[in-house]
Amino acid sequence: QLPEVESAGSRIAGLVVYVDGFGNLVTNIGAELLAPAAGRQLRVTAGKAVIAGLSHGYGEVPTGAPLAVVGSLQTLEISVNKGSAAAALGLARGAAVLVEIL
């Protein structure tokens, strides 16, 4: 059972629930919660990373840059292009993740 996501107005607060073998930070924020943001700008904050928008692929950001994607589990993931988000951001399971629809 995943911890509950808090959603109020234009803010969605979740947690990192898993760090995969590549260092991607898998959250409990489901893709369905991001659907209202379709066509709108959003900001994802995880630790020291502030990420503008969702990416469709790793190649959309420079090597070493963080990005937010909807992963294969249909949840929000924080990743680093050609790197480990866990190591680069110093985050682990239980870290807070905030999505703001702008």
Pull the structure tokens for residue 87: 């190591």
Specify the amino acid at residue 59: G
95, part of any domain: yes
What are the pLDDT digits (tens) for 1-48? Answer: 667 899 888 999 999 999 999 999 999 999 999 887 777 889 999 999
Out of 4-8, 23-27, 60-64, 68-72, least confident range: 4-8
32, part of any domain: yes
Calculate the CA dihedral of residues 56, 57, 61, 67 and round it to 10 degrees. 70
Tell me the CATH number at 77: 2.40.30.90
75, part of any domain: yes
Q: Is the pTM of this model over 0.85?
A: yes
Instruction: Please name the residues in contact with 71: beta carbons below 8 A apart, sequence gap of 6 or more.
Output: 24, 26, 77
